[in-house]
Amino acid sequence: MGNIKKAGRIIKRDWDLYLLLLPGVIWYLMFAYKPMVGLRTAFYDYNIFRGFAGSTFVGFDHFKDFITGPDFYRTVKNTLMIAFWQIVICFPAPIVLAIAITEMKNKFVSKMTQTATFLPYFISIVVVCGMVVNFLSPSTGIINMILVKLGMEPKYFMVMPQYFRGIYTTMTLWQTTGFNAIVYIAALVGIDQELYEAATVDGAGKWKKIRHITFPGIIPTIVTMFILNIGKIVKVGYEAILLLYKPSTYPTADVIATYAYRVGIENGNYGLATAVGLFEAMVALVLVVAANKLSKRVTENALW
């Protein structure tokens, strides 16, 4: 009873702060927690017209069908391979860009660089994918025009599986690097400038300052962003993949999320689609926990 009264006094004292928090709480309840009720679809042979009452309970059959099916290895492999490219190429790029922007002496060039790399993030993914398709068009695309000028044969890149991962990674790199760099720029601004002044007095050059002051100063931010990105790698921006891939590129482009989309939306097998999505979420959870433990052991920085 005493704890309830104490909580009531705190809420009464800080009611305006809790009022500001309320919209976010409502959003999470409506769009993050309420949809979890639908996860039980994974355990039913669900019929949208009959509902759960008229659908047959099948237990873990959908999970077994996916894991033992012919598409399991391909979708899991493609998801992990695309995620690997994202981590190796797209994750370090914002860090490098943030350091480069903050180290520039010419502030005008620095601001223009930040603006130019930041703006692509606000272009619709549909538009970006359309741009990619046009640039790589075998007849009118600028890339193939350059290849023809160099005496090479034009290629239809979008139907060739071996090029898909590179195309997708390059597109993601262009669109997200500037936006993701903002977090690191904010972290860099928070580093004590007296450390740089002391390093200058000691005769340290720019590279030594970056190595011994700049990089260690943003390690906690890098670790936090890495763990958060690990949780999202199994998603790998499936909306863009849906817009870019074709049946001919399934061997390298079909990921877990796009497979769930085809099974659920195109084939109407909602139970299997939900099971695949739940499997994907469990993989993400395992990866986040593992990354957090590894980070805590190696760098002594972690989310929890």
Span 279-292, pLDDT tens digits:
988 888 888 888 78
More reliable by pLDDT, 95 or 294: 95
Q: What is the mean pLDDT of the chain?
A: 87
Could you list the residue range(s) of the whole structural domain that residue 8 is in?
1-42
Closest CA to 163 of 230, 232, 85, 237: 85
Interatomic CA distance for residues 189 and 193, integer angstroms: 9
Closest CA to 256 of 115, 84, 42, 83: 83
Q: Which amino acid is at 93?
A: A
Interatomic CA distance for residues 187 and 191, integer angstroms: 7
Interatomic CA distance for residues 192 and 178, integer angstroms: 24
Assigned domain for 138 exists: yes
| 302 has pLDDT over 70 | no
Are residues 233 and 83 in contact, defined by beta-carbon separation less than 8 angstroms? yes
70 and 185 share one domain: yes
**Assign residue 59 a region: left if phi > 0, alpha if psi is -120 to 50, beta otherwise?**
left
Assigned domain for 220 exists: yes
Q: What is the count of structural domains for the chain? A: 2
258 and 230 share one domain: yes
**Could you tell me which residues come within 8 angstroms of residue 229 by beta carbon, excluding any fewer than 6 positions away?**
86, 87, 91
17 and 155 share one domain: no
**Tokens standing for 254?**
């079909």
96 and 27 share one domain: no
75 and 25 share one domain: no
Assigned domain for 260 exists: yes
Of the pLDDT bands very low, low, confident and very high (cuts 50, 70, 90), residue 252 is very high
137 and 18 share one domain: no
Give percent of the chain above pLDDT 90.
35
Cβ burial of 291 (10 Å; 0-12, 13-18, 19+) is: buried
CATH number for the domain harbouring residue 124: 1.10.3720.10
Span 118-158, pLDDT tens digits:
999 999 999 999 999 999 998 888 999 999 988 888 889 99
107 and 11 share one domain: no
Residue 128 confidence (pLDDT): 93
CB atoms within 10 A of CB 122: 8
10 and 149 share one domain: no
Residue 15 confidence (pLDDT): 83
Assigned domain for 147 exists: yes
With the C-alpha atoms ordered 214, 220, 222, 225, is the resulting torsion angle positive or negative? negative
Residue 16 confidence (pLDDT): 84
**Tokens standing for 225?**
């962003």
- Provide the whole-model pTM: 0.83
Of the pLDDT bands very low, low, confident and very high (cuts 50, 70, 90), residue 208 is confident
| 66 has pLDDT over 90 | yes
* Mean of pLDDT values over 64-92: 91
